[in-house]
Structure 1
Amino acid sequence: MNVQRSSNGKMKGKELITVGIFSAIYFAINLVFMVLGGLHPIIWILMPAFIALFTGVPYMLLCAKVPKIGAIMLMGLITGIIY
């Protein structure tokens, strides 16, 4: 049996919840490294690299789980509203 995912159409409720969960995880990881960046200047300088490395995991998982147009934009919108 060949099952294909459709990337067309609107996001359903389950997909919106998935985007919300991954946005919360993304924000939490980002917040941890931002707080740690205040401890020492070296950590502050390397903070963007650490954030990119560790928040890339939920970002890529979101891309794999919700292959719909607008999922990444919604994640960015949620994160921006929280900030």
Structure 2
Amino acid sequence: MPPFRNPLTAVGGSNLFAILDAPLYLRSRYVQYLEHHEARMDELEGTLRGHIGLTEGALERLEDRGYQKIKERNHNIPLAKDIRRSRHC
């Protein structure tokens, strides 16, 4: 009986084909997964950089506003040398 007519040969051949083909299939899926993961990480990085930029801008505005308020508050307070002069006059 020829080997290709034996059902065990067909089953064995299909098993051998599946075993040899599985690493190629899994590798292609893994590469595809890595590409999608890298794209998601790039998108996340861009989003985080944008949020960091917004936060830094808001912090700079708050610091400038606070500095201006302190400057205005201190501008209205007389200096010690001015107080001494006004007492002696």
Normalising by the smaller structure, the TM-score range is 0.3 to 0.5
Specify which structure has the higher proportion of helix: 2
Q: Which has the higher contact order (CA 8 A, sep 6+)?
A: 1
Larger radius of gyration: 2
TM-score, normalising length: structure 2: 0.33
